Structure 1
Amino acid sequence: MRRFPLVLVATGMMLIGACQRQDTTADPESAPATRPAPKADTPGGTAGGSTTEQASLRLSQGSPSYLVDSSGASLYFLEGNQDGARCDATCEYAWPPVATSSASVETGVEQSLVGQIERKDGQNQLTYGGQPLYRYAGDAGAGRTSGHGVEDRWGKWRLLSPSGEALQHAVNADNPSERSPPSADSTREP
């Protein structure tokens, strides 16, 4: 009979623990986005907060060339988003904006196309050819272009050519990890 009270106590402890747990399946739309800390080699990265630094723009190696940062991370723009308003906090989790206080350019990058817009949070976001710039969280390092051509609920994402236009060519088609780009949004539109 001594086991009965022990089982009762153990069951009671489990019930108390279950009642105190928070719901971890909350709708991501209603919950504030949590973001990973920015990588140290990502100048101006905002993935973890409000870091603003000097960004350095250069062109990728190979053909076709597209815009990258000093660490080689591909830079993207969202079609129809010249004011930066279409990419909300949920969007910024997958597509961190390039927040910066200033920018330098390397050979091949048109200085006249580099600019900034003021974001709703008061930070400046780097632009190129009038397009606000973003990184893609789905890119697993320098030289990755998994975000090129992704269409999600915010629109279509593209790499930028040196002239500031959308890159029209497929990039790194031989890389199996880039044949089926990961979605920035689990609810991709048809």
Structure 2
Amino acid sequence: MSKPLTFKALAATLLLTAGVGHAAPPAITNGVMAASNGMTLYTFDKDAANSGKSVCNGPCATLWPPALAMPGDQPAGAYSIVTRDDGAKQWAYKGKPLYFYQADQKAGERNGDNFKDVWHVVKD
């Protein structure tokens, strides 16, 4: 079983070094949200906005690795942090937890968009 991917592992360049040590939020690139390495981020329709948690755990999180927040990361603006069932902290946008899709292997891929009509790329 693979471990959930962290922002540090997938998007090391997100970490700010300007004295605060917090991860910078992802940005909208080519019309969808992506980490700074270009990997697309998704939301899951079964996650309730502003619930403070993710319902994608276990095998789901293997296929859809959560965008984990690093210790010391702080929410800002439309970005918040939710607590996963295992206690890990995960980034959320407008209250919806953010995920990567394991089948996306290259920056800019959007293979998970509309997967089973419940996974969607994040558009602002």
TM-score by length of 1: 0.50
Question: In 2, Cα distance between the equivalents of 1:144 and 1:60?
Answer: 12
Does the aligned pair in 2 maintain the 1:116–1:125 contact within 8 Å? yes
CA RMSD of aligned residues (A): 2.6
Can you give the 5+ residue segments of structure 2 that lack an aligned partner in the other structure? Answer: 13-21
Kindly tell me: are residues 41 and 88 of structure 1, through their superposed partners in 2, closer, same or farther at Cα, counting changes over 3 Å?
closer
State the match for 2:120 in structure 1.
Answer: 158
1:80 is displaced (CA, Å) by 2.9
Task: Give 2:89's aligned amino acid.
Answer: N
Kindly tell me: are residues 113 and 36 of structure 1, through their superposed partners in 2, closer, same or farther at Cα, counting changes over 3 Å?
closer
Which of 11, 22, 27 in structure 2 is aligned with 1:43? 11
Does the aligned pair in 2 maintain the 1:95–1:136 contact within 8 Å? yes
State the match for 2:109 in structure 1.
Answer: 144
State the match for 2:16 in structure 1.
Answer: none
Does the aligned pair in 2 maintain the 1:96–1:135 contact within 8 Å? yes
State the match for 2:64 in structure 1.
Answer: 95
SS of alignment partner, residue 10 of structure 2: coil
Does the aligned pair in 1 maintain the 2:43–2:120 contact within 8 Å? yes
Which of 22, 27, 36 in structure 2 is aligned with 1:70? 36
Question: In 2, Cα distance between the equivalents of 1:114 and 1:156?
Answer: 21
Can you give the 5+ residue segments of structure 1 that lack an aligned partner in the other structure? Answer: 1-33, 45-52, 105-110, 163-190
Does the aligned pair in 2 maintain the 1:55–1:69 contact within 8 Å? no
State the match for 1:80 in structure 2.
Answer: 46
1:57 is displaced (CA, Å) by 0.8
Task: Give 1:99's aligned amino acid.
Answer: L
Which of 90, 95, 99 in structure 2 is aligned with 1:134? 99
Question: In 1, Cα distance between the equivalents of 2:4 and 2:66?
Answer: 14
Does the aligned pair in 1 maintain the 2:74–2:81 contact within 8 Å? no
Which of the two has higher C-alpha Rg?
A: 1
Aligned length: 109
SS of alignment partner, residue 100 of structure 1: coil
1:43 is displaced (CA, Å) by 3.2
1:60 is displaced (CA, Å) by 1.1
Task: Give 2:35's aligned amino acid.
Answer: D
SS of alignment partner, residue 91 of structure 1: helix
